[in-house]
A and B are shown apart, each in its own frame.
Chain A
Amino acid sequence: MATITTISESVGANRIVPTVAIPYPVGNPNLNTADEYNLRKDMVGRALKGLATEIEETTQF
């Protein structure tokens, strides 16, 4: 889970979930509590889905 996915790809990460910003990758303090929670839950969910998905090459989830 990384924000600057261009770097993740350059260095050869395979399963990538794009995140929000460098100081708060899995969060967003600008949102209200409920919206931030939904966003975070979704991102972590996508990461888990990525782990359970067969891939051949670098893939963003």
Chain B
Amino acid sequence: MKLEQNRIYIKDIQFGDVTAVNNGILTVNKEEMINFLKEDPKVKDVKLDIARPGEKTRIIPVKDVIEPRVKISGGKGFSGVTQTTTQLGDGIVNILYGAAIVTVGDIVGFQEGVVDMWGEGAKYTPFSKTFNLVVDIEPAEGLEPHMHETTVRMAGLKAAEFVGEAGRDAKIDETLTYDIGNIDEETKKYPNLPKVLYVEMLISQGLLHDGYIYGVNSQLILPTLLHPNEEIDGAVISGNCVAACDKITTYQHQNNSAILDLYAEHGKTINFIGVIITPELTTLQGKFRSCDYTAKLCKTLGANGVIVSEEGYGNPDSDLLMICKRLETAGIKTVLITDECSGWDGASQPLADTTPEAVAVVSGGNVSHVVTMGPADKVIGNDKAIATLSGGWEGCLEADGSLKCELNAVIGATSEIGFHYCTAREY
């Protein structure tokens, strides 16, 4: 598959008469965009706001982050979700690089999070560095929770496509080409390089705990093989799942750092042969099946090395380690990416499960690491939501507006696809 990503560098977002990009400034016609999103009768109201890097702005409760893009050729947007189903991974896509759609709004569960654009909080979230168009979605009254979540998720994806259209004819600043042929071709090209697969685990556990591949809920799949290009072309989206710190937002799927960093080594030190998506299920038999099936795919494809990334913590630790055990036992060298739940003091066991085969593990940091983030000049959304979010507690919003909470509540802080920079070290 060959995918050309055209980047249009975005240096600011402003509201204006047209939705367009000029000289790196993205302007958005507020009214048009709101009307477009309100075409869905389940959306009662939409508010738009802008948060720029360095501004003393706090966004909460954040559900998803999405990169605005437009597909020029080779399939359509979020195939199988907002668009009819087409094959993704080939062709040309224009990207408003540096911009992001951030969805907030009435809380669905406890998994939403915080993005601070400045100061201490900004260090812990990758989305303090993007120009964020914040879409605050108020769903119609009386929606049951699953429908509420679906409505908000779809509105965010549609918003990203609406804005992404502005990139269709904009001036392109940079083009990146992602080109990996079939396994046979690549192995002929690089006969001496070890074959490497990336296993991406997705939480697949119900309301606010699902991922989607071409619109298919990951709960319903057997582990499945993707070409790396498919995911970075929008085939995988977030179901707003699990704690904010280690949920994989749609933006992080579109820019999956594990895929991109493996791509960078392809043809140099490794032969990157594909991505396996594995569901983290809620039953023990389901876990056994997914783990066996994943290991089988890796063995069948002749992998020499595998990187496995987790989503969430607790019960998925068990899936992660079972996959590791099966791969190492089969002689496949395995590196895991996870995060830790070692308590406020960092003194507790970091994982819920253990296995001696897990000898090479990358840590995204301790989800219970407590950070204090100063008062914001402007809050987009509702900062009182922190009391009920994972990582917050009653009273953690202080009288002066500063926020003391665990990294749990900070979007992308302990990313288990290795999207961010946190780690934990033993002292």
* Interfacial residues, chain A to chain B (CB-CB below 8 A): 3-7, 10-11, 18, 20-23
Which chain A residues border B282 with CB–CB below 8 Å? 3, 21-23
Given pairs A6-B287, A18-B284, A22-B282, 7 additional interface contacts (CB within 8 A)? A4-B287, A5-B284, A6-B353, A7-B318, A22-B205, A22-B315, A23-B205
Number of A-B contacts (CB under 8 A): 36
Contact A11 B352 (CB under 8 A): yes
Contact A4 B206 (CB under 8 A): no
Contact B205 A4 (CB under 8 A): no
For window 330-380 of B, CB contacts with A under 8 Å fall at 352-354
Quick one: which of B205, B206, B315 contacts A7, CB cutoff 8 A?
Answer: B315
Quick one: which of A4, A11, A18 contacts B315, CB cutoff 8 A?
Answer: A4
Is B317 part of the binding interface, using a Cβ–Cβ cutoff of 8 Å? yes
Which chain B residues border A4 with CB–CB below 8 Å? 284, 287, 315, 318
Which chain A residues border B287 with CB–CB below 8 Å? 4, 6
9 closest residue pairs by CB, A with B: A22-B282, A21-B282, A10-B353, A21-B283, A4-B315, A7-B353, A6-B318, A7-B318, A4-B318
Nearest A residue to B349, CB-CB = A11
A-B contact pairs, 23 of them (CB 8 A): A3-B283, A3-B284, A3-B315, A4-B284, A4-B287, A4-B315, A6-B287, A6-B353, A7-B318, A7-B352, A7-B353, A10-B318, A10-B352, A10-B353, A10-B354, A11-B353, A18-B284, A20-B283, A21-B282, A22-B205, A22-B283, A23-B205, A23-B282
Nearest A residue to B322, CB-CB = A6
Question: Considering the chains assembled together, what is the distance between the CA atoms of A13 and B269 in angstroms?
Answer: 44
CB distance from A20 to the nearest CB of B (A): 7
Nearest B residue to A24, CB-CB = B282
CB distance from A5 to the nearest CB of B (A): 6
Which chain A residues border B205 with CB–CB below 8 Å? 22-23
For window 288-319 of B, CB contacts with A under 8 Å fall at 315, 317-318
Question: Considering the chains assembled together, what is the distance between the CA atoms of A4 and B286 in angstroms?
Answer: 10
Task: Given A22-B205, A23-B205, A23-B206, answer yes or no on A6-B354 (Cβ-Cβ < 8 Å).
Answer: no
Question: Considering the chains assembled together, what is the distance between the CA atoms of A4 and B206 in angstroms?
Answer: 17
Question: Considering the chains assembled together, what is the distance between the CA atoms of A57 and B287 in angstroms?
Answer: 25
Which chain A residues border B317 with CB–CB below 8 Å? 7
Question: Considering the chains assembled together, what is the distance between the CA atoms of A48 and B283 in angstroms?
Answer: 22
Question: Considering the chains assembled together, what is the distance between the CA atoms of A22 and B280 in angstroms?
Answer: 11
CB distance from A53 to the nearest CB of B (A): 22
CB distance from B241 to the nearest CB of A (A): 13
Question: Considering the chains assembled together, what is the distance between the CA atoms of A21 and B295 in angstroms?
Answer: 23
Which chain B residues border A7 with CB–CB below 8 Å? 315, 317-318, 352-353
Contact A6 B206 (CB under 8 A): no
For window 76-112 of B, CB contacts with A under 8 Å fall at none
Question: Considering the chains assembled together, what is the distance between the CA atoms of A21 and B286 in angstroms?
Answer: 9
Question: Considering the chains assembled together, what is the distance between the CA atoms of A60 and B126 in angstroms?
Answer: 45
Nearest A residue to B351, CB-CB = A10
CB distance from A12 to the nearest CB of B (A): 11
Question: Considering the chains assembled together, what is the distance between the CA atoms of A18 and B206 in angstroms?
Answer: 20
CB distance from B45 to the nearest CB of A (A): 31
Which chain B residues border A3 with CB–CB below 8 Å? 282-284, 315
Question: Considering the chains assembled together, what is the distance between the CA atoms of A20 and B283 in angstroms?
Answer: 6
